Chains A and B, each alone.
Chain A
Amino acid sequence: MHMPEDRPILKVRNLRTRFKTDRGIVTAVDGVSFDLYPGETLGIVGESGCGKSVTNKSIIRLLPERVTQYDPDSNISYHGQNLLELSERQMRSIRGNDIGMIFQEPMTALNPVFTVGWQIEEALKYHSKLSSSRRRDKAIEMLRLVEMPNPVKRMDEYPHQLSGGMRQRVVIAMALCCSPEILIADEPTTALDVTIQSQILRLMDDLKKKTGTAIILITHDLGVVAQACDRVIVMYAGQVVETGGVRDIFHRPRHPYTRALLDSMPKPGAAGHQKRLPAIEGMVPSLFDLPVGCRFADRCQRRQPACEAALPELVDPETKSVTRLATGRTTPSVRCFYPLELRQTKERQV
């Protein structure tokens, strides 16, 4: 894949998202920074509660304003403006137009009482100047683009008449109808069967190549990451713990958490059949009660006394220099005092 331009279209810096709750203030996203480049698929992977969805809902500002606080030095820079400072009115023209969204459960993203065609046309009505008949043509064209069978007939059908895979195609068509520069896909295939999942992943990849849209793909599924992403951010308890190219992450993981996650997946093949899986013992710490040191320390097999004393920063695993910002396209970074050495990780076979 070639990169037309090597300047990020989205720069996230020190994103800290806090929620006011009955039990006090909780920091769901704690200092996340990254760049998104045109035409790439950036994967954000982690387990429930790691902050991957909140990160992206912060970008499109879909969190309830009343209970959400962003740190003053948090910055999400898109075409020179800080998205965190825009009014709801300004955000509305960015959502859909410049940044499209796909969510996990297509049924909740679609309105059950309107036809598929009506819903795609509605997006065009707000974000384009097309006449109503042109809008219908464009909507049919979008359904054709997402390889919907019988696009003309489907225009007049309601969401309940479609299967899960077809609904997700409609949602993708809606998200892409204004040719957004960025597409945020939050667990887009989690609710789908595997054969349909592979269809949708292939479709997203085809569309990315055709339109050059940059994709942020949020998922808990490492298999999906390996199949679909160019770069990967691994999150744990609200923080980035490792970033790198997809090959770095899968073949040369440096953070003990990344490595443990990969190892704990059951793999087809005779080698590990009916053997105990190398599980990660314990649980993710509560965001209300975070340790002083490394957040993964109590589950980590490489834990040393230093890990519990202070929180490691994101560093370049080779030079150990602080990268702090998990930015740039190529530099890997890891939040660990004792990252896995390259020779240790080389033994990892997928």
Chain B
Amino acid sequence: MSNQSAATQSSPPPAEAPAPMVRVQNLVKHFPKRGGILNQVIAKVHAVNDVSFQIRKGQTMGVVGESGCGKSTLGKCVIRLHEPTSGKVFIEGTDIGSISSHALRKIRSRMQMIFQDPNSSLNPRMTVEATLREVIKLHQVVPAGEVDAKINTLMTKVGLRLDDRKKYPHEFSGGQKQRVGIARALAVNPEFIIADEPVSALDVSIQAQVLNLLMDLKEELGLTILFVSHDLKVIDHFCDSMLVMYLGNIMEEMPCEDIHAHAKHPYTRALLASNPVMDPDHRAELTVLEGEVPSPYDPPAGCPFVTRCPIKTARCEQENPPLLDHGNGHRVACWEVKLQ
């Protein structure tokens, strides 16, 4: 709890500043790559590199980036599905890295995860009812006599019909399966949800339904959400603020709402420009980003984005720019973006 005072100054404290729901401090996650005849560690993937941020209670934080940028690993480290290599994660002031497995299980009932692919995250041999019952019983959410009522409440809440209780996952459409996944996450009355690409596998019309559902639930239950997605449009629509990640590093943290006005980092700007605009009269010019993301086994020295950056200088190849606070919850890691 002593770390409370060391809260970063990335966002100006409102009148009665609530304790951050989630605080991540210098989080690092390396995955070893083994090889050779002795199966020794021959390289390390720098999946998450010294990442710090916090989410206030009731806030939605988006994490956006391309494949391999470490956004999913970050989400899993926050909920301790991965053990971080170093760094700390605090959930309402409790360092979840240093607590016993018993205490961890207890705190897990306050944080839940929604996965991308409901086909692989739901047990195909369990009905909706059985899936929900298992979670409710395991975490002793309600007394035994009230389990059925709880299942009904949950199913109604996520927009499933009650006569679907006995159905198996394969009998549902993709959107409905995702609703089951959401119901399972909500079963333990969590305060904090990590949603890892929750709408990426869904069709456009269904994606809007599920986003609306998450939005309603967030309002109703006051959820704090870490929303991981590759889709800038979805993040911008849904979240209060976002982290833009590239090769395991945060390049920019900024408030959503008007990203076109906010975005300062050249990578964020490039992501914005590559996102196909739904207007045939505004076709993208040729300013797309050249090249590809470098291998995370062998990230470039200096700024991770240096190999593709349109405004790089000699300094960028030598030194990794720090994530500087630009005020109003805006942080940018770029030598060329000057503090105002």
Chain A residues engaging chain B, CB cutoff 8 angstroms: 47-48, 149, 163-166, 193-199, 201-202, 220-224, 226-227, 229, 246-247, 250-251, 260-262, 264-270, 272-274, 276-281, 283, 350
By a CB distance below 8 angstroms, the chain B residues around A281 are 209
Q: Say whether B234 faces chain A, with CB atoms less than 8 Å apart.
A: yes
Say whether B270 contacts A48, CB under 8 Å.
no
Residues B205 and A223 in contact, CB atoms below 8 Å apart = no
B38 close to A (CB within 8 Å): no
**Chain B residues with Cβ under 8 A from A269's Cβ?**
258, 260
Q: Sorted from nearest, which 9 A-B pairs have the closest CB atoms? A: A223-B276, A266-B237, A279-B208, A264-B208, A193-B66, A350-B279, A280-B205, A47-B203, A277-B208
Given contacts A226-B279, A260-B205, A277-B208, A267 and B237 within 8 Å (CB-CB): yes
- Residues of B217-243 at the interface with A, using a CB-CB cut-off of 8 Å, are 230, 232-234, 236-238, 240
Give chain B interface residues in 282-319, CB to chain A under 8 Å.
282-284, 286, 288-293
B281 at the interface (CB under 8 A from A): yes
Interfacial chain A residues near B238, Cβ < 8 Å: 266, 274
Contacts of A197 in B (CB 8 A): 274, 276
- Cα distance, A284 to B271, chains bound together (Å): 32
What chain A residues lie within 8 Å of B203 (beta carbons)?
Answer: 47-48, 220
A165–B280 CB distance below 8 A: no
Complex Cα distance, B295 from A166, in Å, reads 14
Contact, CB under 8 Å: B232 / A262: no
State the Cβ distance, B208 to closest chain A Cβ, in Å.
4
Cβ-defined contact, A198 with B259, below 8 A: no
Our pick among B230, B233, B237, B277 for the contact of A193 (Cβ within 8 Å) is B230
Interface flag for B175 (CB, 8 Å): yes
Of residues 85 to 106 in B, which have CB atoms within 8 Å of A's CB atoms?
none
Q: Mark B233-258, 1 if CB is under 8 A from A, else 0.
A: 11011101000000000000000111
Q: Is B81 an interface residue (CB 8 A)?
A: no
Are A227 and B276 in contact (CB-based, < 8 A)?
A: yes
| B144 contacts A by Cβ under 8 Å | no
B276 to chain A, nearest CB (A): 3
Hey, which chain B residues are within 8 Å of A278, CB to CB? 208
Taking CB atoms, residues of chain B closer than 8 Å to A226 are 276-280, 283
Distance of A119 Cα from B185 Cα, bound (Å): 47
| Among candidates B204, B260, B278, residue contacting A350 with C-beta atoms closer than 8 Å | B278
In this complex, the member of B66, B258, B292 whose beta carbon has the largest number of chain A beta carbons within 10 angstroms is: B292
Binding site for A on B (CB under 8 A): 66-67, 173-175, 203-209, 211-212, 215-216, 230, 232-234, 236-238, 240, 256-260, 270-284, 286, 288-293
Residues of A within 8 A of B280 (CB): 226-227, 229, 246-247, 250-251
Residues of A within 8 A of B276 (CB): 194, 197-198, 201, 221, 223-224, 226-227
Evaluate contact between A273 and B256: CB separation under 8 angstroms: yes
Determine whether the beta carbon of B283 is less than 8 Å from that of A227.
yes
B208 and A202 within 8 A (CB): no
Q: Write the nearest CB–CB distance from B258 to chain A, whole angstroms.
A: 5
Rounded to whole angstroms, the CA-CA distance of A189 and B274 in the bound complex is: 12
Considering residues A149, A222, A223, which has the most beta carbons from chain B within 10 angstroms of its beta carbon? A223
> A195 near B233 (CB under 8 angstroms)?
no
Answer whether A261 and B288 are a contact pair too, CB < 8 Å, given A268-B233, A269-B258, A273-B256.
Answer: no
Residues of B within 8 A of A222 (CB): 204, 278
**A274 pairs with B215, CB closer than 8 A:** yes
Q: Which B residues lie within 8 Å of A260 (CB)?
A: 205
Contact B205 A198 (CB under 8 A): no
Complex CA gap A158/B166 in Å reads 48
CA A262 – CA B216 in complex, angstroms? 22
Between A and B, 30 residue pairs with Cβ closer than 8 Å are A47-B205, A48-B174, A193-B230, A195-B288, A196-B66, A198-B274, A198-B276, A199-B288, A202-B288, A220-B204, A223-B276, A224-B276, A226-B277, A251-B281, A261-B205, A265-B204, A265-B208, A265-B278, A266-B208, A266-B233, A268-B233, A268-B236, A269-B258, A274-B215, A274-B257, A276-B215, A278-B208, A279-B209, A281-B209, A350-B279
A265/B288 in contact, CB under 8 A? no
Closest chain A residue, CB of each to CB of B257 = A273
Q: How far is the CB of B247 from chain A (nearest CB, A)?
A: 13
**Contact of B233 with A265 in the complex, beta carbons under 8 Å:** yes
B208 cross-chain contacts in A, Cβ below 8 A: 264-266, 277-280
A227-B276, A350-B278 are known contacts; what are 7 more A-B pairs with Cβ within 8 Å? A195-B274, A199-B288, A202-B284, A222-B278, A268-B233, A273-B256, A350-B277
Do residues A270 and B278 form an inter-chain contact, with CB atoms below 8 A?
Answer: no
| Candidates A166, A266, A268; contact of B272 at CB < 8 Å | A268
Name the contact of B278 in the complex, choosing from A193, A194, A267 (C-beta under 8 A): A267
Interchain CB contact under 8 A, B260 and A268:
yes
Q: What residues of B have a CB within 8 angstroms of the CB of A201 in the complex?
A: 276
Q: Output the residue of A221, A262, A266 with the most chain B CB within 10 A.
A: A266
Closest to A45 in B: B204
Q: Identify which of A149, A163, A194, A229 gathers the most chain B CB atoms within 10 Å of its CB.
A: A194
B238 nearest CB neighbor, chain A only: A274
Complex Cα–Cα for A247 and B278 (A): 10
B288 touches A198 (CB 8 A): yes
Is B283 touching A194 in the complex (CB atoms < 8 A)?
no
